[in-house]
């Protein structure tokens, strides 16, 4: 019955795993997986699932998730087909599933500045707004004007203040049943080649300092005030630490990578060892930036 309903509103699969859908390449089987065709289909699906008390999880690119190996007996909703965007009067409207690296590059070619700080983050608009992602002293809260949110079955626009942005935080993290559907972003006109050169330089630096070729969820921990997580991890001797298929990257110790065959238990085991070690040595409690699900 669930499958029949979902097939009417999107691309349906019953053979997907979180390993297929996350950049960490780990996680168990998903009972129902659906890619809505449109925002209207997303609203219909979510309201149906809530009415029938069926558990669900909405994901974007899966680049900030660590997922357990047990089967998820609910519905995973992917926003990857909500990938339309348009520019009007120096304002960008982008649906949640638009991939940010591609979008940033396309904007730069048209002489629009906004997303170059995020051009190397392998996530989608929805995920970056949700996390208030940032790099190079910029963050989504600096450029997001309004966010379209599916809240209690209805689509509403929240302005920047209402999003309660702070370091790696938005109001969506306090309301797990809400969902980001789209965002309006303020654009600035700049020289196209200047933007492209800046993004190319930053991508080069990322490749030199981060294990982009490995399966990871990006930075594992938020930076505590006044210091960097990688410095604290180095300070307890965990750079290069390996447990089964999980390794603290030699290139950047705030990246915990899956070298092959690692599980969420392995990953989180290393995470909790680092948290305990840093707390004991420095009196600082590291906070995960990566989201846990079905663990």
Report the DSSP beta bridge partners of residue 146.
Answer: 159, 184
1 vs 43, which has greater pLDDT? 43
> Domains (ranges, CATH) in the chain?
2-78 (3.30.43.10), 85-208 (3.30.465.10), 212-293 (3.90.78.10)
pLDDT (0 to 100) of residue 295 = 86
8 A C-beta contact, residue 54 and residue 74: yes
Q: Are strands 65-67 and 291-293 parallel, antiparallel or unpaired?
A: parallel
How many Cα atoms occupy the beta-carbon half-sphere of 113 within 13 Å? 15
d(CA 35, CA 136): 33
pLDDT in tens, 115-145: 999 998 999 999 999 999 998 889 999 999 9
Catalytic (active site) residue 289: yes
pLDDT in tens, 65-77: 999 999 999 999 9
8 A C-beta contact, residue 164 and residue 171: yes
Is the pLDDT assigned to residue 245 strictly greater than 90? yes
Out of 96-100, 150-154, 161-165, 274-278, which region has the weakest mean confidence (pLDDT)? 150-154
d(CA 243, CA 247): 6
Mean pLDDT of 58-63: 94
- The catalytic position among 168, 202, 206, 239 is 168
- The catalytic position among 95, 116, 146, 289 is 289
Mean pLDDT of 10-29: 97
d(CA 197, CA 254): 27
Residues in the chain: 295
- The catalytic position among 113, 219, 249, 253 is 219
Catalytic (active site) residue 219: yes
Catalytic (active site) residue 253: no
- Label residue 187 by pLDDT band (50, 70, 90): very high
pLDDT (0 to 100) of residue 1 = 85
Q: Residue 189: phi, psi to the nearest 5?
A: -80, 130
């Amino acid at each position: 019955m669930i499958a029949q309903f979902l097939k009417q509103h999107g691309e349906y699969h019953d053979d997907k795993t979180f390993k297929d859908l996350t950049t960490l390449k780990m996680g168990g089987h998903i009972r129902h997986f659906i890619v809505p065709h449109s925002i209207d289909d997303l609203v219909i699906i979510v309201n149906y699932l809530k009415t029938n008390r069926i558990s669900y999880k909405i994901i974007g690119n899966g680049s900030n998730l660590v997922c357990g190996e047990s089967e998820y007996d609910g519905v995973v909703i992917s926003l990857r087909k909500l990938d339309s965007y348009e520019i009007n009067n120096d304002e960008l409207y982008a649906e949640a599933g638009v991939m940010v690296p591609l979008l940033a590059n396309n904007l730069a070619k048209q002489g629009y500045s906004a997303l170059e700080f995020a051009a190397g983050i392998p996530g989608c608009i929805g995920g970056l707004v949700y996390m208030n992602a940032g790099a190079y002293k910029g963050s989504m809260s600096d450029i997001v004007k309004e966010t379209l949110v599916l809240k209690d079955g209805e689509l509403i626009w929240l302005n920047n203040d209402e999003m309660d942005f702070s370091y790696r935080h938005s109001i969506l993290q306090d309301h797990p049943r809400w969902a980001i559907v789209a965002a309006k972003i303020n654009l600035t006109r700049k020289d196209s080649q200047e933007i492209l050169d800046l993004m190319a330089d930053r991508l080069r630096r990322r490749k030199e300092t981060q294990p982009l070729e490995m399966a990871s969820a990006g930075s594992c921990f938020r930076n505590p005030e006044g210091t960097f997580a990688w410095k604290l991890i180095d300070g307890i001797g965990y750079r290069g630490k390996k447990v089964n298929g999980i390794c603290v990257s030699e290139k950047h110790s705030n990246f915990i990578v899956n070298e092959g065959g690692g599980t969420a238990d392995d990953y989180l085991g290393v995470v909790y060892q680092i948290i305990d070690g840093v707390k004991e040595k420095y009196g600082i409690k590291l906070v995960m930036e990566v989201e846990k699900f079905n663990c």
